[in-house]
Amino acid sequence: MSELVKEIIKAIIFGIVEGVTEWLPVSSTGHMIILNNLIHLNVTPEFYEFFEVVIQLGAILAIVIVLWKKIWPWGFGKTKAETKETFRLWGLMIVGCIPAGVLGVLFDDFFEEKMHTPIVVAIALIVYGIIFIVMEKTKFGKKTTKELKDISFKQALSVGIFQVFSLIPGTSRSGSTIIGGLASGFDRPTIAEFTFILAIPVMAGASLIKLLKYIKNVGLVFTSTELIILGVGCGVAFIVSMIVIHSFLKYVRKHDFQIFGWYRIALGIIVILYFSFLAH
């Protein structure tokens, strides 16, 4: 098997993991850190950081397409009232993004350098897993907000504050916002949808910051192999994201989040065991 084929297979695996974990409350960053410790792309550290950003862009494109009718104010036979409601949704989105956006810009380098370790990921996976299970078993929070139009700006800010915790690798951006939403009175389908809407500016902003850093430090010169890896990873992340987003929105209409809590705990334990004993 040629080296190029090996790298393409790795890029496919990374794209699949990104496309699945970006939208489920299981921490995409945590999974990517773990995967990178198990399967190394034969590239420079700088290019790998760029690669992570590019496959995120594939995932962002997927959510924009899926939710385009809800987030675009015009067309689709929308009335003036519906257009006005869409602009209000934009306002909610901006309010929900401010806390994490501000702290992300200020402390991005700190979290990148100090917190991106397997043990931090493992602890965050387990702690959030326990929170999910406890919240669902105790039926914490009254689920009175059942549509996007019912969300208040106070609720949006509350979810945004919870989203700040997603800066810690392993917590999960969607996991943080879902917990914040459940605590703030959202029902499961509504907070899942609002979580995806919040992902658009947050992920796009974070990706832009990392892209600018890469361009400043390295430039935009790539080998043919690197371009193939970027295209494959991004394309796979996009396709898988489309499938996962539709499936997750359908799933939460009839099920709770306990299964993700148990998954997080199991994965956290595996990570601790692996990096404590098997990785040496």
CB 216 within 8 A of CB 80: no
pLDDT at 278: 66
CB 257 within 8 A of CB 188: yes
pTM, 2 dp: 0.88
pLDDT by residue (tens digit) across 78-112?
899 999 999 999 999 999 999 888 887 777 677 77
Identify the pLDDT of residue 143: 78
Query: What's the pLDDT score for residue 45?
Result: 84
Query: 100 and 166 in contact (C-beta within 8 Å)?
Result: yes
How far apart, in Å, are the Cα atoms of 11 and each of 19, 21, 88, 185, 215? 12, 15, 39, 40, 21
Predicted pLDDT at 82: 92
pLDDT score recorded for residue 103 = 82
User: Amino acid letter at 252?
Assistant: V
Q: Can you give the pLDDT at residue 100?
A: 83
Backbone angles phi and psi of 140, in degrees to 5: -65, 130
DSSP for 185-236?
TB-HHHHHHHHHHHHHHHHHHHHHHHHHHHHHHT-S---HHHHHHHHHHHHH
Per-residue pLDDT of 235-270, as tens digits, reads 999 999 999 999 999 999 999 999 999 999 999 998
- Say what the pLDDT of residue 24 is: 94
Collect the ranges in the chain with pLDDT lower than 50.
none
Helix axes 3-21, 224-251, angle to 10 degrees: 30
Residue 269 makes CB contacts below 8 A (sequence gap 6+) with 122, 126
Length of the chain, in residues: 280
pLDDT at 217: 80
